Structure 1
Amino acid sequence: MAERETWRWGPLAAVCLAQLLLMLDVTIVIVALPDVARDLSGDLQSMQLIVDAYALTLAALLLNTGAIADRVGRRLVFLIGLVVFGVASALCGVAGSAAFLVVARGLQGIGGAMLFATGLAILGAAYQGADRAKALGAFGAVFGGAVALGPLVGGAIIELANWRWIFLVNLPVVVLAVVIAVRYVPETRDERPRPVDWIGQLTFTVGIGALVCALIKGGDWGWGDRTTLTLFAVAPVSLGLFTFSQARQRQPMFDLALLRNRSFAGGAIAAFATSASLFGMFVYLTLFFQQVENTNGLEAGTRLLPVTVLAFFAAAGAGRLSAVVSARLVLTVALGCTALGLLQMTMLDSGSSWTVALPGLVLCGLGFGLANPTVAAVTLAVAPPHQAATATGMNSTFRQVGVASGVAGMGAIFSHALRSVDIAARRAPAGSLDSAAVHQAFATALDRVFFTGSAIAGVGAVLAAVLIRPVETPAVGVPREEASGAAASGVGAGSAA
């Protein structure tokens, strides 16, 4: 009996271990960034790239990786993804320079794309009916738990060892997941897989990469510099070619027809706005805690718990809430809470206690938790059953692009504000610009990040209210328990990094 039970839940164990790795490596890395920068002599741009290299490669490769997995085998791609992620984690752990770490993080994103693209498909093939609902519920619990515990675990690892172990600790988990997957996960393929879209892959990667690179390096090169302007020109041209290529294909990897559905478009915008507004804030708020308030990694991680823990519990209750009120209202409230929370956090000052921002952190956690599963529910509700995989993959892409562009865009705003301090220092009499003034400038720069994030979330709330129709969830054709389990899991949530 025990052996049969182990076989029965083997695929779930393998997928959940992979999900644990992927989600921990989003929030766990954020609290380690100041230590990484000090150890590897990195600057603000390096820290942005450490986050964005992972998010960009994952976003760029996710949709095509799913098509490849459908063709050659989902277990095979899942196993390759685990190996790639493990090797990349080892390389991150031994990195001797910021540039090397950025490249290794990009390799992690490649492995992450393979795991994201195949995990839910493996569960869908392995389980049916009530077992599928249980599997999706467990998947969602791991997703939320990893996000909630990431900052605390990262801080504890940094204090007990050093930042390198936040990557090296992945290795035994990878080995265990590989062993379980080899023994218990059956191979599955799609009988009629869609073709791999190399043109779409190239144009999308170049477009998003050029935009993020321009945002990150523009302040250093100069916003009027020829290279910066060239990148800003390449981005819309390449993305325009991507859109054109998708419109002309019979089986596109990014189905533009889904975006013509107002509710799907509203959900996609909500996914982007949630990630762009919050993950950019996480990075720079952590820098404030550690560099201005002189906290260690564990203390910084503890201060982020109001966001992550409340997000976990809010996500658990979002499914029940969606059964009472419309998904449109839930998403509008969620993004509204995020906008208000970020706005309240502008009260944080270099001389104030971090608890001043506690109401804002609570509101952001509530908004984050309500938004993730509700976006997934909307996506499943409005997408035709045969396009569920494409729809959730697109949703995840919007999330990851939100992470990358949010970190890069807010970084540009943040670094521009800090650069004004350097100008003031050169003009001021020697010694007149003390550390208190620099700390205050840091707080002012952080305020601009909060205002920007609040504006993004606010616009997202308005567009969600306007575009999303009061659809019924769960999705038509999906049993209620399965759809609620998928919604709770945050299907297509991506990394939240």
Structure 2
Amino acid sequence: MPDVRLGTGPGRWILLATVLGSSVALLDSTVVNVALPRLARDLHADIAGLQWTVNAYTLTLAGFILLGGSLGDRYGRRRIFLIGVVWFTAASVLCGLALNIEMLVLSRALQGIGGALLTPGSLSILQASFAADDRPRAVGAWSGLGGVAGAAGPFAGGWLVEAAGWRWVFLLNVPLAAVVVLVAVRHVPESVDPDARGRFDVPGAALAALALAGTTYALTEAPGGRTPAALIGAAAVAGVAAAVGFVLVERARGRGRRLFGGRAARGGREVPQPMLPLGVFASRQFSAVNVVTFLMYGGMGVLFFLFVLNLQVVGGFSPIAAGTALLPLTGLLLLLSARAGAFAQKVGPRLPMTVGLVVAAIGMLLVARIGKDSSYVRDVLPAVVVFGLGLSAVVAPLTATVLATADVRHAGVASGVNNAVARAAGLLAVAAIPPLAGLTGDAYKDPALFSHGFRVAMTACAALLAAGAVLTFLTVSRDALRAPTGEQVEPECRRHCSVGAPQLQPEPETVPAASSPPDGPGAAPARS
């Protein structure tokens, strides 16, 4: 049984290791956007190359993050966490030494695999190590400190790009990872899930990754006109076929576990647990909230990809000024997320989510106005503040609603599904919207052309957020956060919610066996 107390020495060491480990991945994802103009110049990359620099990481992370949580529960959370940190760091070195854009993109894909191993491990270690009454405070501290790291990332990235060059954005991970490994080996206890059994859903993970890869490749390469149409068509067909195959495989495995109580009919062999139990989508509200997540995080993904580029290419901002331009957004999330969650408990999630998405859409339209002669105080800051106020009203209620609208035994997998949906949304939106807005080839070298494409892309993203607001108003119940007993559900995210994707939430306390049918998720694709 976990018995570490937060205020003790061992508790502080565990918190340090998990915060630093997750911060390594978080920092990398935030500072890379700041470095895009410089690395594009040095590596002679076009817009598609920059898209792949961002998307290669997101692709492998989204494709394997649920499998990473399962590996940790089976073989040891600390062990898989450490493997992820070392893997991520080795890939970071390859990124820093990249000789061309192709090598950088491949290295970023390898980074994503490392991120998929370490990201779910940080929270699952907290869940497995701390005493039950200390877990909420541990998660809150992890969230708050992670928010500080997220706030410092763009500033540090801008300074590194200006002072030492873009390669140090990746090489900085080496000393940070060394500290994580040292602390984790010495002070983090090992833990496993004693109920994790059965074969892994490797085909499910492979099909999910192939579906995302094929679709992303087709969306990214089609507008450029330089890739053969036959190859683009083949990638699109492969992506769609893999997506259909994924659904069929998950449905068959879920049915097999229900029919045979977790064991196959022949030879007593264990039926692999589905990576995505489709039963979680039985709730109409859960499905609707995930569509809202897709719309919101798709728009946000494009904003974060193009915003810093626009400031440098069109506005003439320095890397450090561009990198810190979004700092008020993180500050607002840190200050207001907990309050938004508490407000949603009182009035229900429909109002704050609907209003928040509308305000965020207005902020995105203000962002679209940022151009050549824009000043930070007059143009950039008001747009970021309005967008941040809207986002702060949405993220905590959204995360809480995802957990509240899924069956309690599926809470962990529901959080993982929502996280994967958010990452897939950013991946596909970054692949599709910039080319559709005219941002292809060497558009970033022409400030006028880039400025026009940026305005079109931001307007499209504002439309996505507005559509999310309409869907929220029509589908999300005011009582979504109220448990059947009348007690309201406490949002897990209390201090800060990640803007890259919703946080993976720890699995709730085990439900007594009598109340858990044999087709429950069991193992840990759900757990993080």
TM-score normalized by the length of structure 1:
0.89
1:402 pairs with 2:425 = yes
Quote the Cα distance in structure 1 between the aligned partners of 2:500 and 2:365.
Answer: 25
1:154 to 138, 157, 163: 157
1:301 pairs with 2:332 = no
Match of 2:469 in 1: 461
- 1:139–1:489 CA contact under 8 A, matched in 2: no
Match of 2:453 in 1: 445
User: Structure 1 vs Structure 2: percent identity of aligned residues?
Assistant: 31
- 1:50–1:101 CA contact under 8 A, matched in 2: yes
Match of 1:471 in 2: 479
Cα 1:10–1:357 shift into 2, 3 Å: closer
Q: Which amino acid aligns with 1:286?
A: V
Quote the Cα distance in structure 2 between the aligned partners of 1:326 and 1:115.
Answer: 34
SS in 2 for 1:303: coil
Match of 2:366 in 1: 344
- 1:380–1:388 CA contact under 8 A, matched in 2: yes
Quote the Cα distance in structure 2 between the aligned partners of 1:279 and 1:333.
Answer: 20
SS in 1 for 2:8: helix
1:240 pairs with 2:244 = yes
Deviation at 1:480, TM superposition (A): 8.1
- 2:399–2:502 CA contact under 8 A, matched in 1: no
1:67-466 alignment runs, 5 A limit = 67-193=70-196, 195-221=199-225, 225-250=229-254, 251-354=273-376, 355-414=378-437, 416=438, 438-466=446-474
- 1:293–1:350 CA contact under 8 A, matched in 2: yes
1:61 to 60, 64, 84: 64
Quote the Cα distance in structure 2 between the aligned partners of 1:450 and 1:183.
Answer: 47
Gap regions ≥5 residues in structure 1:
423-434
Deviation at 1:382, TM superposition (A): 2.5
Match of 2:511 in 1: none
- 1:376–1:487 CA contact under 8 A, matched in 2: no
Quote the Cα distance in structure 1 between the aligned partners of 2:448 and 2:192.
Answer: 57
Quote the Cα distance in structure 2 between the aligned partners of 1:147 and 1:4.
Answer: 24
Deviation at 1:44, TM superposition (A): 1.0
Q: Which amino acid aligns with 2:464?
A: I
- 2:47–2:443 CA contact under 8 A, matched in 1: no
Quote the Cα distance in structure 1 between the aligned partners of 2:349 and 2:226.
Answer: 43
Instruction: For residues 74-99 of structure 1, give each alpha carbon's deviation from its aligned partner in whole angstroms, at most 9, with x where no partner exists.
Output: 11111101111111112112222111
Cα 1:464–1:48 shift into 2, 3 Å: same
- 2:367–2:380 CA contact under 8 A, matched in 1: yes
Instruction: For residues 150-191 of structure 1, give each alpha carbon's deviation from its aligned partner in whole angstroms, at most 9, with x where no partner exists.
Output: 222211222222111111111121111111211222222222
SS in 1 for 2:134: helix
Deviation at 1:4, TM superposition (A): 8.6
Deviation at 1:377, TM superposition (A): 1.1
1:2-17 alignment runs, 5 A limit = 5-17=8-20
Instruction: For residues 322-371 of structure 1, give each alpha carbon's deviation from its aligned partner in whole angstroms, at most 9, with x where no partner exists.
Output: 23321222222222222121123333343444533443322221233333
- 1:349–1:440 CA contact under 8 A, matched in 2: no
Cα 1:204–1:21 shift into 2, 3 Å: same
Deviation at 1:486, TM superposition (A): 3.7
- 2:95–2:167 CA contact under 8 A, matched in 1: yes
SS in 2 for 1:32: helix
Quote the Cα distance in structure 1 between the aligned partners of 2:62 and 2:323.
Answer: 26
- 2:46–2:440 CA contact under 8 A, matched in 1: no
- 2:336–2:393 CA contact under 8 A, matched in 1: yes
Gap regions ≥5 residues in structure 2:
255-272, 504-528
Cα 1:65–1:493 shift into 2, 3 Å: same
SS in 1 for 2:190: coil
Deviation at 1:207, TM superposition (A): 0.9
- 1:19–1:142 CA contact under 8 A, matched in 2: no
Deviation at 1:461, TM superposition (A): 1.6
Quote the Cα distance in structure 2 between the aligned partners of 1:311 and 1:439.
Answer: 31
Deviation at 1:110, TM superposition (A): 0.7
The range that moved more, 216-225 or 169-178, is 216-225
Quote the Cα distance in structure 1 between the aligned partners of 2:421 and 2:34.
Answer: 24
Quote the Cα distance in structure 2 between the aligned partners of 1:493 and 1:267.
Answer: 17
Deviation at 1:124, TM superposition (A): 0.9
Point out the structure with the larger helix share.
Answer: 1
Deviation at 1:493, TM superposition (A): 6.3
Q: Which amino acid aligns with 1:18?
A: G
SS in 2 for 1:323: helix
CA RMSD after TM alignment: 2.9
Q: Which amino acid aligns with 2:36?
A: L
Aligned length: 480
- 1:143–1:490 CA contact under 8 A, matched in 2: no
Quote the Cα distance in structure 1 between the aligned partners of 2:143 and 2:6.
Answer: 25
Deviation at 1:372, TM superposition (A): 2.5
Cα 1:148–1:271 shift into 2, 3 Å: farther
Q: Which amino acid aligns with 2:83?
A: I
1:35 to 33, 38, 43: 38
SS in 1 for 2:324: helix
The range that moved more, 62-71 or 187-196, is 187-196
Quote the Cα distance in structure 1 between the aligned partners of 2:26 and 2:502.
Answer: 6
- 1:376–1:492 CA contact under 8 A, matched in 2: no
Instruction: For residues 473-497 of structure 1, give each alpha carbon's deviation from its aligned partner in whole angstroms, at most 9, with x where no partner exists.
Output: 48789x989x44445454896489x
Cα 1:202–1:105 shift into 2, 3 Å: same
Quote the Cα distance in structure 1 between the aligned partners of 2:340 and 2:483.
Answer: 15
- 1:381–1:471 CA contact under 8 A, matched in 2: no
The range that moved more, 286-295 or 102-111, is 286-295
Cα 1:203–1:492 shift into 2, 3 Å: farther
Cα 1:161–1:480 shift into 2, 3 Å: farther
Quote the Cα distance in structure 2 between the aligned partners of 1:257 and 1:279.
Answer: 28
